[in-house]
Structure 1
Amino acid sequence: MGFRLSKIYTRTGDKGETGLGDGRRVAKDHPRVEAIGEVDTLNSQLGLLLAGLAEESVRHPALEEVIAVLAPCQHRLFDLGGELAMPAYQALNVAEIERLEAAIDLWNEELGPLENFILPGGSSLIAQAHVCRALARGAERRCQQLNAVEPLAGPGLAYINRLSDLLFVTARVIARRQGVAEVLWVAAAKPEG
Structure 2
Amino acid sequence: MKIYTKTGDQGTTSLIGGTRVGKDDPRVNAYGTVDELTAFVAHLRDSMDGEENNLELYRNDLLNILEALMTVAALLATTEEASPKVPPLQPERITFLEKRIDEISAGLPPLTHFTIPGGHPLVSLSHICRTVCRRAERAAIAAGHGHPVCNDALVYLNRLSDYLYVLGRGLSEEFNVKEVYWMPER
Q: What TM bracket, shorter-length normalisation? A: over 0.9
The Cα shift of 1:187 comes to: 2.4
The Cα shift of 1:143 comes to: 0.4
Separation of aligned partners in 1, 2:179 and 2:125 = 14
Instruction: Note the 1:23-172 alignment, pairs <5 A.
Output: 23-56=18-51, 59-61=52-54, 63-87=55-79, 88=83, 89-172=86-169
Which stretch has the larger CA shift, 112-121 or 172-181? 112-121
- Deviations 1:119-170 (Å, cap 9, x if unpaired)? 1110110000000000000000000011111122351110011000000000
Q: Secondary structure at the match of 2:13?
A: strand
Report how many residues are paired.
Answer: 181
**Is residue 9 from structure 1 mapped to residue 4 from structure 2 by the alignment?**
yes
Which stretch has the larger CA shift, 144-153 or 41-50? 144-153
* RMSD of aligned Cα (Å): 1.2
Contact persistence 1:93–1:154 (CA under 8 A): no
The Cα shift of 1:181 comes to: 1.2
5+ residue gaps in structure 2? none
The Cα shift of 1:114 comes to: 0.5
Larger Rg: 1
Q: Secondary structure at the match of 1:45?
A: helix
Contact persistence 2:12–2:22 (CA under 8 A): yes
Separation of aligned partners in 2, 1:186 and 1:155 = 35
- Deviations 1:85-106 (Å, cap 9, x if unpaired)? 2240233121110000000011
Which residue number corresponds to residue 183 of structure 1? Answer: 180
Separation of aligned partners in 2, 1:29 and 1:55 = 40
Query: Could you tell me the TM-score, scaled by structure 1's length?
Result: 0.90
Query: Could you tell me the TM-score, scaled by structure 2's length?
Result: 0.93
5+ residue gaps in structure 1? 1-5
Q: Secondary structure at the match of 2:21?
A: strand
Provide the identity percentage.
37
Opposite residue 30 of structure 1, the aligned amino acid is D
Structure 1 segments (4+ residues) deviating >6 Å: none
